[in-house]
Copies of this chain bind each other. A is one copy, B any other.
Amino acid sequence: MSEQGSRAVGRAGAGRPGVPNATVARLPVYLRALHALADVGRTTVSSEALAEAAGVGSAKLRKDLSHLGSYGTRGVGYDVGELVHHISSTLGLGQRWSVVLVGVGNLGQALAGYGGFDDRGFRVAALVDADPARVGEVVAGLTVLPLQDLPRVVREQGVSIGVIATPATGAQDVCDRLVAAGVRSILNFAPAVLQVPPGVDVRRVDLSNELQILSFHEHRKAALADQVVSA
């Protein structure tokens, strides 16, 4: 996110009161839990049960849902189908977003083959790679295109989201090209901090970072255990 701490406030008139950022980050989790419930045949669910499935407190869940309107029934709970609809709508999943994936190395190929994309509302429109040797290769049913084709692909396929799965070197270059081509939302798997103009959102997913954070906690737990032992 381009450093906009503010909540996503909608203008008056239409009247969406604005959904806090922290809430938005949890909506996908709720959505998945709801789909799972629907698959099992449940039609209603209480905040308590849904919160349990999503791994959050029930009060937090209720407040989150309250930000997108009152769709629960007191004494009963929430209608699963209705809630799925409203959350999907809030997240903008009514339409199918087209995604361009840049970098077909180890990780890129895994992402291309991952079912998680098609899952709900996302379509991999094209694969792109900077390495001329890879261009023309067919991965997951798509032909790998050269970097130069980005503007055309974005335009013709109506791409609005870019996924960067390149090495850290060149990630910024790819990012610049994506932005220049008109992409305003980027998911970055490269271990690099990307500089983007205002209005462009970047979300970073960094494997190494996550491991190091775990390392910290593990380290702390180990130190704590030693202390207890020596006490």
Instruction: Report if A205 contacts B (CB, 8 A).
Output: yes
A218 near B161 with CB under 8 A, answer yes
Instruction: Report if A213 contacts B (CB, 8 A).
Output: yes
Residue ID in chain B nearest A9 by CB atoms: B220
Q: Closest Cβ of chain B: how far from A229's Cβ, in Å?
A: 13
- CA of A90 to CA of B24 in the docked complex: distance in angstroms? 32
Copies in the complex: 2
B119 near A216 with CB under 8 A, answer no
Cβ < 8 Å to B, chain A residues 62-114: 90-93, 97, 99, 106-107, 109-111, 113-114
Q: Which of A41-49, A126-134, A144-152, A193-201 contacts B (4 or more CB under 8 A)?
A: A193-201
Instruction: Report if A178 contacts B (CB, 8 A).
Output: no
User: A-side binding surface: helix, strand, loop or mixed?
Assistant: helix
A205 near B208 with CB under 8 A, answer no
A205 near B215 with CB under 8 A, answer no
- CA of A1 to CA of B89 in the docked complex: distance in angstroms? 30
B116 near A110 with CB under 8 A, answer no
A32 neighbours in B (Cβ, 8 Å): 191-192, 208
Chain A interface, number of residues (Cβ within 8 angstroms): 70
- CA of A194 to CA of B33 in the docked complex: distance in angstroms? 12
Instruction: Report if A211 contacts B (CB, 8 A).
Output: yes
Instruction: Report if A185 contacts B (CB, 8 A).
Output: yes
Report 14 cross-chain contacts, Cβ distance below 8 Å, ordered by A residue: A8-B216, A14-B227, A28-B208, A28-B213, A55-B194, A97-B218, A107-B110, A114-B207, A117-B207, A119-B208, A161-B211, A161-B218, A187-B211, A187-B214
Contacts A120-B208, A185-B218 known; list 14 others, CB within 8 Å: A24-B213, A28-B206, A29-B209, A32-B208, A91-B219, A93-B212, A97-B215, A106-B110, A107-B114, A110-B111, A121-B215, A161-B211, A187-B211, A205-B205
